[in-house]
Amino acid sequence: MDSIIKYVQDEYAETKDFPDFAAGDTITVYYKIKEGNKERIQFFRGVVLQRRGSGTTETFTIRKMSGSVGVERIFPVNMPALDKVEVNKRGKVRRSRIFYQRERTGKAARIKERRM
């Protein structure tokens, strides 16, 4: 049963070509919003907290600070409304899920930049 599902996902699911990014990276996600009969592109810029899943069910969580309130958003990788993803900064973290960032504010919330 699993092999049939995997085959259908590989053959028929549309995969998008995004740059590689991981937890700790600062990225900008551009996605389409439909309002009535109009369509516009909005962006969401923040730090990647995690990537989870694989294949067509893969998702990633982004967190940004809006004023003094933290806002998190979960994006499926294969979401049709996803337009493009830009990597702004590569972060150096030692974990794949950095949920400890939720409790940090100000200077403590900074992530070192990974040097290439």
pLDDT in tens, 12-45: 777 777 889 999 999 999 999 999 999 999 999 9
CATH number at residue 82: 2.30.30.790
Are residues 36 and 105 in contact, defined by beta-carbon separation less than 8 angstroms?
A: no
Q: State mean pLDDT over 62-85.
A: 92
Give me the chain's average pLDDT, please: 90
Q: Establish if 57 belongs to a structural domain.
A: yes
Query: Is 112 inside any structural domain?
Result: no
The number of distinct structural domains making up the chain is: 1
Q: Is residue 105 part of a domain?
A: no
Is residue 35 situated within a structural domain?
Answer: yes
In a domain, residue 22? The reply is yes
Q: Does the residue 42 lie in any domain?
A: yes
Q: How confident is the model at residue 9 (pLDDT cuts 50, 70, 90)?
A: confident
Dist CA 67 CA 47 (whole Å): 15
Spatial neighbors of 60 by CB under 8 A, at least 6 apart, are 21, 48, 50, 51, 52, 74, 75, 77
Range of the domain at 38: 2-99
**Cα–Cα separations (whole angstroms), residue 106 to 30, 48, 101:** 26, 17, 11
pLDDT, greater one: 101 or 3: 101
